[in-house]
Structure 1
Amino acid sequence: MKILVTVKRVVDYNVKIRVKPDGSGVDLANVKMSMNPFDEISVEEALRLKEAGKASEVVVVSIGPAKAEETLRTALAMGADRAILVETEAAVEPLAVAKIVKAVAEAEQPGLLIVGKQAIDDDSNQTGQMLSALLNWPQATFASRIEIGEDKASVTREVDGGLQTIEVKLPAVVTTDLRLNEPRYASLPNIMKAKKKPLDKKTPADYGVDIAPRLTVLKTEEPGGRKAGIKVGSVAELVEKLKTEAGVL
């Protein structure tokens, strides 16, 4: 079975982002970029399934600028077999991403498609669900455990009330949650080997996908600073302030 994994190049999660003075977006100049953390988890899970004998090949795909090749090379250094970069300098919305990945999946014919549940830059949490609908494949979102059977997968999902285990027929789309695994670090020998692994470059036009934006960002603002708290002398005073000042009672 082949596993297809999507990865995205995003601002590193340790970086404190800055909003552009004109409010048109986030300032990316001289900012460290890395693989989306949820996608690292997706790559790790695909590699573990391959090591367990459940998969024969792990293919990673990314949609973004030429520099996204660095992100794909990281996935290859972790252990993925080959990569596909759909190169575009334009910002691509979740629906366009889903359409492109659908086309890649139709060409690659994977038995399982693993997607990070969301990217930490836009937090859309849409691509996996849209992809499932476009492919007409079963979906299992927010996975904290994946077990592969003969022609099906058992997936434990994180839901509001606890954990839910469902069974889906393969091929299927699975989106990963934080507690699924702990991604490995790429060793220096594997980093060197990754430079020689195959990486195909495509464009959205190669798949016949229109990536024109459907949404318009009106303004980007930093969140306001937290106000200082106050101390109260009694429970009665606390209740009174919650009623009259906070308006929550």
Structure 2
Amino acid sequence: MKIVVLVKQVPDSGADRNLRSDDNTVDRASASNVINEMDEYAIEEALRLQEAHGGEVVILTVGPDRATESIRKALSMGPDSAVHVVDDALHGSCAVATSKVLAAAIAQQGADLVICGAESTDGRVQVLPHMIAERLGIAALTGARKLTVDGTSLTIERQTDEGYEVVTASTPALVSVWDTINDPRYPSFKGIMAAKKKPLQTLSLGDLGIAAGEVGFDGATSTVVEHSKRPPRQAGNKIDAGDDGGSKLVEYLASEKFV
């Protein structure tokens, strides 16, 4: 089984994150960039499947040159190789265009299974798994908290607010996972050293047969036209205790429609 794991480099959610003032895109150059948290669970799930069923695990990333740092970090966990799609024309791409690039790169790999995180911490759109599967013409088993493989048959428990749903499909297919599916392993020193020598293929848009005008700002179906910082939190209302304190409290709660 050949498994392709989608990995995105994102600004650390524990640090300040900003948008650029010139084009309203995420300011990645000045950020502390890391592997998208959900993607670490996707990597772990792929490695567990490889250990149980054999095969190959390939990391796939679309991003600027500096995304190589996250690719090597992903490889240090245990995958066999990586593919990095990097092209200046990709800057400003929307989710629709990004799904086109990812689908084209996946198609070249001939994957039996694609695994990715359910969402990215910078975009939070949760639509890429569906878009990619639609472009590839394969099943999308999304929001998995558990994945079982039996030959060419896949079964997931899809996490919902009320519990879970059982969904099945045959390979090739795409599975997106939540952080409830496993506990990602830490890279060992041996793994970190080995990652430096693992194959890393670099592809451009031309290698994928995609024109520059189909991606970036020119190919975007949506764009951010304006942004501003979240306003500072305002001080709350304070009601002094006294003979009429209870009445004032009830009046305030009523005005805010709490009672």
Q: CA deviation at 1:216?
A: 1.9
Amino acid at match of 1:62: T
What is the match of residue 52 of structure 1? Answer: 52
Q: Provide the C-alpha distance between the structure 1 equivalents of 2:170 and 2:250, rounded to a whole number of angstroms.
A: 54
Q: Is the 8 A contact 2:140 2:173 kept in 1?
A: yes
Deviations 1:68-123 (Å, cap 9, x if unpaired)? 11111111111010100000231332222221222222221111111111111111
The reply on whether 1:134 has 2:153 as its aligned counterpart is no
Q: Percent identity?
A: 32
Counterpart-to-counterpart distance in 1, 2:26 and 2:2: 37
| 1:242 matches 2:253 | yes
Task: Number of aligned residue pairs: give it.
Answer: 247
Name the Cα RMSD after superposition. 2.1
SS at match of 1:175: strand
TM-score, with structure 2 as normaliser = 0.87
Distance change (3 Å), C-alpha of 1:25 and 1:200:
closer
Which residue does 1:102 correspond to in 2?
Answer: 103
Q: Does the C-alpha gap of structure 1 residues 221 and 135 become closer, same or farther in structure 2, counting only changes over 3 Å?
A: same
Q: Secondary structure at the residue paired with 1:180? A: coil
CA distance in 2, matches of 1:66, 1:19: 19
CA contact (8 A) 1:6 1:60 kept: yes
Q: What secondary structure does 2:184 align onto?
A: coil
Matches of 1:239 and 1:109 in 2, distance apart?
Answer: 65
In the other structure, the counterpart of 1:177 is: 178
Gap regions ≥5 residues in structure 2: none
Deviates more, 1:198-207 or 1:93-102: 93-102
Q: Which moved more, 1:23-32 or 1:162-171?
A: 23-32
When structure 1 is superposed on structure 2, of 18-27 and 213-222 the one drifting more is: 18-27
Structure 1 unaligned runs (5+)? none
Check the 8 A contact 1:144/1:155 in 2, yes or no.
Answer: yes
Q: TM-score w.r.t. structure 1 length?
A: 0.90
Q: Indicate yes or no: 2:62 matched with 1:63.
A: yes
Mean Cα deviation higher: 110-119 or 12-21: 12-21
Matched residues in 2 for 1:206 and 1:23: separation?
A: 27
Q: Structure 1, residues 36-81: CA drift from partner, whole Å, max 9, x if none?
A: 011111111101111112x400011100111111111111111010
The amino acid that maps onto 2:130 is Q
8 Å contact from structure 2 (residues 25, 92) kept in 1: no
Structure of higher CA gyration radius = 2
Amino acid at match of 1:180: I
Task: Give the superposition deviation at 1:139.
Answer: 1.0
Given that 2:39 and 2:116 are in contact with CA atoms closer than 8 Å, whether structure 1 keeps it comes out as yes
Report how far residue 248 of structure 1 moved.
5.7
- The answer to whether the Cα contact below 8 Å between 1:93 and 1:213 also exists between their aligned partners in 2 is yes
